[in-house]
Copies of this chain bind each other. A is one copy, B any other.
Amino acid sequence: SKSYKIAVLPGDGIGPEVTNESVKILKVIGEVFQYNFEFNYGVMGAEAIYQTGNPLPDETLELCKNSDAVLFGAIGDPAFDNNPDAKVRPEQGLLKLRKELGLFANIRPIKTYASLIKKSPLKREIVDGTDIQIYRELISGIYFGEKFTDENGDYAYDLCKYSKEEIAGITHLAFQDAQKRKKKLTLIDKANVLDTSRLWRKIVKEIALEYPDVTLDFMFVDNAAMQMILNPKQFDVILTENMFGDIISDEASVIGGSIGLLPSASIGDDNALFEPIHGSYPQAKGKGIANPIASILSAAMLLDYLKLNVAADKLRQSVEHAVESKFVTVDLNAEQNYSTSEVGDFIADYI
């Protein structure tokens, strides 16, 4: 049977709880489909700072580099957020890991579940049938550019920089996906103001010539933030730079009624990492109420990446079964109040 090394980084807040469920389910999948998954754990984020002083210890980075895929939970801790002077921050661990693994493309599917549409803050007719694939550039732009704060705290800067190569890599992936979907790609930028956005527009236009079956259009980010709510169904594949992707994909996460359902894949040439879109949700930590589905669907994307597509589809069906049976956590079903691990068990049993 085939063997796969999976690095598991539970991270902060509810990260460990939801990741537990995914590992539990992957183990079941391993048995059912006869795959040999080897799970190796590493620390990252606030947990890692508390234990080692470093949000991404070298051993964790090495572990990830030597694995076939990384399953990651969540990052962030209010103790750091509320301290603007902290020199070391949990998020640095995730940013560094993305960079070191070369995970240039973050893919975030946004779709709706029939039985959950009523949970959406948006009207049914606006969101019903939304199916968007967001491609967010993940290892460049302002999050990774030079940063500076002068010692007196009189000024600070962050540099947003993009190279042709950085733009081209993710652009090809997005076009290839668009070809398999509705053949429409929207570049979100602020090309009426920013030089980096104009570079994006230029390079994406050039690359579009190689994909003549895909319709390319452009939208300014401010308008896109409106259009995502006014008419999300106008979008098929969205391509955008790092920070715009961060904002627009979190915004889009409200469409289906719960951010607790949304997975993501971060892909590089030699590595890949899978994580929920949601954050560490520290208020829920340890209460057994966290929705594990975003993590479990991230595990399904991991299976796809390993080309174990039959298992991935089976896992997605099991999740859909849980959702349509309302066997879900309190965020989606306040009456029954199933716990994180009950939902995980239910999905595992169905496999």
Contact = CB atoms under 8 A, between A and B. Distances in A.
Interface of A: 76, 80-82, 84-85, 89-91, 95, 121-123, 126, 142-143, 145, 147-149, 153-164, 190-196, 198-199, 201-203, 205, 218, 220-223, 225-226, 228-231, 243, 246-251, 253-254, 259, 279
Contact of A95 (B193, B221, B225, B251): B193
B226 A156 contact: no
Nearest to A86: B198
B148 A195 contact: yes
A121 B158 contact: no
Given A157-B161, A222-B249, 18 more contacts: A80-B192, A84-B191, A84-B198, A90-B192, A95-B193, A121-B123, A143-B194, A148-B195, A149-B198, A155-B163, A158-B159, A158-B160, A158-B194, A160-B160, A190-B243, A222-B247, A226-B250, A226-B253
Contact of A254 (B95, B193, B198, B230): B230
17 contacts: A80-B192, A84-B205, A95-B193, A121-B122, A121-B229, A122-B122, A123-B123, A149-B195, A153-B199, A154-B163, A155-B199, A158-B194, A159-B160, A160-B160, A225-B248, A229-B254, A251-B251
Contacts of A154: 163-164
Contacts of A89: 192
A157 B160 contact: yes
Nearest to A126: B121
Q: How many copies does the complex hold?
A: 2
B226 A259 contact: yes
A251 B220 CA distance: 12
A75 B76 CA distance: 40
Given A155-B199, A196-B157, A254-B226, A81 B218 contact: yes
Nearest to A82: B218
Nearest to A202: B84
Nearest to A253: B226
A225 B250 contact: yes
Given A194-B142, A194-B147, A155 B159 contact: no
B222 A250 contact: yes
Contacts of A195: 147-149, 156-158
A205 B225 CA distance: 28
A201 B83 CA distance: 9
Given A142-B142, A153-B202, A159-B160, A121 B196 contact: no
Contacts of A243: 190
Contact of A196 (B81, B158, B201): B158
A331 to B, nearest CB: 12
A90 B192 CA distance: 8
Contacts of A226: 250-251, 253-254, 259
A6 B298 CA distance: 57
A246 B249 CA distance: 17
A253 B81 CA distance: 28
A174 to B, nearest CB: 18
Nearest to A145: B157
Chain B CB within 10 Å — which of A95, A145, A147, A247 has the most?
Answer: A247
A17 B218 CA distance: 26
Contacts of A160: 142, 157-160
